[in-house]
Amino acid sequence: MTTYESKTADEVGEYFDDRSWLFGLSGFNLHIGYFDDEKPDTDPKERHTEVMIEAAELGAGSRLLDVGCGFGRPAVAAAKTTGAQVLGINVSAEQVRQGQKLAEEAGVSELVSFEQADGMALPYPDGSFDAVWASEAIMYMSDRPKALREIERVLVPGGRFVLSDYAERENLSAEQRTALKEGFTVEALPTIEGYRGLLLDAGLEITRFEDATAHLHRSAARIPEVLDEKYAYIAERGGKEFADEFKEMLSKVGVLEGEVLGYVIAVGRKAAEPRA
């Protein structure tokens, strides 16, 4: 079986800490867009968050764990929309700090909190949460089966797990794997069907499984426009050499997202009764 290099949780945290200012290019909303033609006036990134909230079946008093919470925008949106208690975790100390600031500014700090924690070793008791979600977070885990077993463990019986993440659709060339590593810090991703197996192996019943690759392609089509619009800002902050290198790297990522990679949105439900 072929294995691929992956970073430790601490290394991933340092990577995102060092690049936090770059994520302002996407409005600190790190996930791809969900292009719902029935809601054309809703920003696709915000619609993606809405899809996650709907799938998690949250309500006032629900307890949600956001694994790999980014800068906290989806967590804050979930609390504001549903009244749920939300805990966002991240290996990036800077993103945790920014999430706390966002929750305070949004007036939901009594509902939303953030902690630095490793998704592969969740520091919470069994059955702590009614729902867990992970948006583009499992892809960074060096032990993805362990991360999903941890998620299943902290869910209450009957609790929901919502996944949205990148996937491989075809065999990548060596050059494409290099671009994947440069752009995402990982050398390999599960296939779309591979995610199905990971969820089942973790003991979750799959209630929704969507090949959302079309949304990834539409998001990727926006990358050149964003690069052109933000180039001057990147050059001012990081220097022209860095801006040129970043533009070249992101252009390669755009090709991966637009032509090679896939995307999956899935919901798994923990068994209502303990497994024998």
Catalytic residues: 136
* 3-class secondary structure, 246: helix
φ, ψ for residue 76, nearest 5 deg: -65, -40
Dump strand ranges (E) for the chain: 63-67, 85-90, 112-116, 129-135, 155-168, 204-211, 261-270
The DSSP code for 139 is: G
Sheet holding 63-67, edge to edge: 112-116, 85-90, 63-67, 129-135, 155-168, 261-270, 204-211
Q: At what angle do helices 44-56 and 73-82 cross, to 10 degrees?
A: 60
Could you tell me if 83 and 56 are in contact, meaning their C-beta atoms sit under 8 angstroms apart? Answer: no
Nearest-Å Rg of the Cα atoms of the chain is: 18
Could you tell me if 215 and 193 are in contact, meaning their C-beta atoms sit under 8 angstroms apart? Answer: no
